Each structure stands twice: as C-alpha cells, then as structure tokens.
Amino acid sequence: MTEHPFAQYIRIIGRGPNLSRPLDEEEMYAAAKLILSGDVEPLQLGAFLCILRLRTEVAGEGAGFVRAVRDTIQVPANAPTVDLDWATYSGKKRQLPWYLLAANLLAQNGVTICMQGTEGHTEGRLFSSQALAQLGVPHAGSLSEAAEQIRATNFAYLPLRNFVPRLQDIIELKPILGVRSPVNTFARMINPFNAAHELQTVFHPAYRDVHRDTAQLLGQKHMAVFKGEGGEAERRPHKPVVVQYLHNGELSEEQWPPMIPDHDYEKEEVMDLSRLPNIWAGKESDEYGIAAVIGTAAYILRLMGRAASPDDAIAQAQALWDKRDTSRLFKAA
C-alpha cells in the first residue's frame, strides 16, 4: 500500500522516546494544511492530536500551525485597525465572566477589541458566547461582520466556527478523545485582524512560555500571557500573578501583587449573568468582581504601554471604572 501523505508527520512525533522529535515550523505548516483541507483520516488526526497533547506542543509547531490557518482566512480590505486580540477558549465555572466588563470598559474608552473564541467543548462551563448572548451582544457571523461591529462599538466577539470552522470541529472532539487537543492552544494565537497587542492566558503555568515563544516566532509586536481565572484572560485579584511579556522581540516578566485579601475569594454558587449589568450600572456591588474587572483592564493598559508600572495601571483602570458610562453596556456611544 502507498503511504498516506500525513503518515510522515505522525512518524516524526510518534516513534518513541528516543527517535521521535517535535515537528519544525515548516513540517507543522505542511501537516496543518492537510488537516485544514480535510486530507487526513480520522484515525490519523486522533493519533496526531493525542501525541502532541501528551508531549506538549513547542513554539515552532505553534507558529507553523497558526501560519497555515492564517493562509486560509480572508480579512476584509477595509477592516479597521484593531488594538487588541483577546482569545477566550476556556469558559468559566467558579466565577462570572468579569473579563467581559473589563472589555466593555476598555472599548468605552477607545480600545478596539476583537474577542475570538469557542464554546461548548467542556460540560459545565459558561462560555463567552453564552454570556454575551444573554447580555444582548450579537456574535459576528464572519470577519466582515466583526469588522463592522468593531467600527461601530470598538468591540466584536467572533466565534471560531465563523471564520475557521474546521478548527471548531476538531475542538469538539474533546468528548471523544477525553482530553483537550493542541488546537485549543494554537487557535488562541490566530489573531485574525493582526492586532498589535495580543492577550493570552493559561490554566497551566508551563504553557506561558509556549504562547510567548510562539508569538515571537510569528512576529507579534506586543503580547502578554498569565495564569487567568479558570483559564480565561481574567485577573485573579486575590493572588499574586506573574505576567510575561513580548515587546518588539524583547522578553520580560513582572510580578503583580494581590489586590484584595485571599480570604475575600468565594466561589459563585449560581452563575447569575444578570449581576453583570447590575454591577456595571452600580445597582449591586461585589468586591471580588470589581477587582477582577479593574485588574484585567490594568493588564491591558500595561500591555499597551499606557501605564508605567502595575500600580499605575491599576490606578488608571480604577479611574476608568469610576467614570464609566453606567447607562450602556457594549453599545455605541
């Protein structure tokens, strides 16, 4: 029998502890092109994903995969300049998605944001798509719609299925494979509008370097990565946090101290999304939630070079929160 073209890539990563090695960037680019075009057998795809998951992806593999994906998407010629690409792929189960209020706060103050992500792959989690739908925020059905929404409101949520459906199909294999696939890592870094600033988060700290090193290979100008709440890009205000940065090829990191005492943290017993607009409007208060909003916005102000230090970023984010327009949530001015 003639060997399948994809078999060589499984062989490279799957020959055992002594003979296997990671794919280099060009090899992963070629493998990803076959995956995206559907020219692999289901058995091959499952083997490939599980081997990478067991071993942990490396930066060259991430860069090759993301390049292949970017070659398949068509960004509108008249797309607006996007300041921040915000990946949301994990969902929440212990805390409300406070990061959505942080995104609204920044959008209200002129930061253009493309929030791109996925949903439904893990039972019992609340995803951005669900939360935004309940808040009355429409999902972008395409890159063109996302561009229009960003132009109108400085914010768009673009589901992965609406610009790279093949990757959404692969992510939805989790109930079959039993574990998340490396596509969850790679898809976060697509940055479809080539935003100058990219915000990434991890559930496992070991993945911080993978994200930052991949971004460096891809030529990303500015990015920040940290361990977020539940895997989402949201500040855990009761914990110290290491934020790693990439700025024009230079790597650095900062230690951010806790914002509130650790004993003030409580798990949400009920994920009541109606609390988000109430807290935004000042009808309710939540020390942890408001600190999470301010802390998350502060990360981004620091990433974008608008703050000289973590303390300065917190102070600026607090000022934005104090003067926010409480009458509107994800609405045009």
Q: Which pLDDT score is estimated for 293?
A: 98
What mean pLDDT is reported for the chain? 93
In a domain, 102, yes or no: yes
pLDDT at 333 over 60: no
Out of 22, 41, 70, pick the residue that ends a domain: 70
Tens digit of each residue's pLDDT (9 = 90 or more) over 150-179: 999 999 999 999 999 999 999 999 889 888
Tens digit of each residue's pLDDT (9 = 90 or more) over 178-230: 888 889 889 999 999 999 999 999 877 778 899 999 999 999 999 999 999 98
Task: Let me know whether 148 and 242 are in one domain.
Answer: yes
In a domain, 1, yes or no: no
Out of 70, 94, 125, pick the residue that ends a domain: 70
Q: Which pLDDT score is estimated for 4?
A: 97
Task: Let me know whether 100 and 209 are in one domain.
Answer: yes
CATH number, domain containing residue 262: 3.40.1030.10
In a domain, 79, yes or no: no
pTM over 0.85: yes
Task: Let me know whether 191 and 300 are in one domain.
Answer: yes
In a domain, 75, yes or no: no
Task: Let me know whether 138 and 267 are in one domain.
Answer: yes
Task: Let me know whether 272 and 185 are in one domain.
Answer: yes
For every residue of the chain, which 3-state class applies, written as one string?
CCCCCCHHHHHHHHCCCCCCCCCCHHHHHHHHHHHHHCCCCHHHHHHHHHHHHHHCCCHHHHHHHHHHHHCCCCCCCCCCCCCEEEEECCCECCCCCCHHHHHHHHHHCCCCEEEEECCCCCCCCECHHHHHHHCCCCCCCCHHHHHHHHHHHCEEEEEHHHCCHHHHHHHCCHHHHCCCCCHHHHHCCCCCCCCCEEEEEECCCCHHHHHHHHHHHCCCCEEEEEECHHHCCCCCCCCCEEEEEEECCEEEEEEECCCCCHHHCCCCCCCCCCHHHHHHCCCCCCHHHHHHHHHHHHHHHHHCCCCCCHHHHHHHHHHHHHCCCCCCCCCCC
Q: Which pLDDT score is estimated for 124?
A: 79
Task: Let me know whether 19 and 47 are in one domain.
Answer: yes
Task: Let me know whether 182 and 97 are in one domain.
Answer: yes
Give the pLDDT band of residue 329 (cuts 50, 70, 90).
confident
CATH number, domain containing residue 22: 1.20.970.10
| 52-56, 100-104, 291-295: least confidently modelled range | 52-56
Q: Which pLDDT score is estimated for 121?
A: 67
Task: Let me know whether 233 and 268 are in one domain.
Answer: yes
The answer for 279, left when phi > 0, alpha when psi is -120 to 50, beta otherwise, is alpha
Domains held by the chain: number: 2
Q: Which pLDDT score is estimated for 128?
A: 94
Tens digit of each residue's pLDDT (9 = 90 or more) over 260-296: 998 666 777 788 999 999 999 999 999 999 999 999 9
Domain carrying residue 14: 7-70
Q: Which pLDDT score is estimated for 332?
A: 65
Task: Let me know whether 31 and 144 are in one domain.
Answer: no
